[in-house]
Structure 1
Amino acid sequence: MNKLMIKGSWNEAKGKLKQKYGTLTDDDLTFSEGQEDEFLGRLQKRLGKTKEEIRKELRSL
């Protein structure tokens, strides 16, 4: 399984995502360890992208 790994500061990454996608809220970007699928599902619903597209975008931050 391809686990989501976020390098650096999560707060910085959240800021970048909120800048790029103005519709995202802090609730949308709440990430808890072990809850990756729920997190990706929220983003998938809000952004209309696949989970793999979201993973790729998060890796690029």
Structure 2
Amino acid sequence: MNWDIAEGNWKQFQGKVKAQWGELTDDQLYFIAGRRMELAGQIQEAYGISRDEAEVQIKRFEESNED
């Protein structure tokens, strides 16, 4: 997955992110705006997990959404 593309097409892409991490609010998705590091931080905050675990989840998400 290319995060430059995700960032550029964030409005379309955020539906996939919301489906994966339903606890993220629309405000959080707006704040993330396609930035991978922001996504990791918001997942960590919303789910109360470590940064490492958030990174593992994002890696799995990337692998399942390779286009």
Q: Which stretches in structure 2 are left out of the alignment for 5+ residues? A: none
- TM-score normalised to structure 2 length: 0.49
Higher relative contact order (CA 8 A, sep 6+): 1
Unaligned segments of structure 1, at least 5 residues: none
**Conservation of the 8 A alpha-carbon contact between 1:18 and 1:24:** yes
- Deviating above 3 A after TM superposition, structure 1's stretches of 4 or more consecutive aligned residues are none
Quote the sequence identity (%): 27
Residue of structure 2 in register with 1:53 after alignment: 56
Change in CA separation of 1:7 and 1:36 when aligned onto 2, cut-off 3 Å: closer
Structure (1/2) with the larger helix percentage: 2
User: Deviation digits for residues 17-57 of structure 1, max 9, x if unmatched?
Assistant: 21233221122222258x754x1211122233623224312
* TM-score (normalizing by structure 1): 0.52
2:32 is equivalent to residue 31 of structure 1: yes
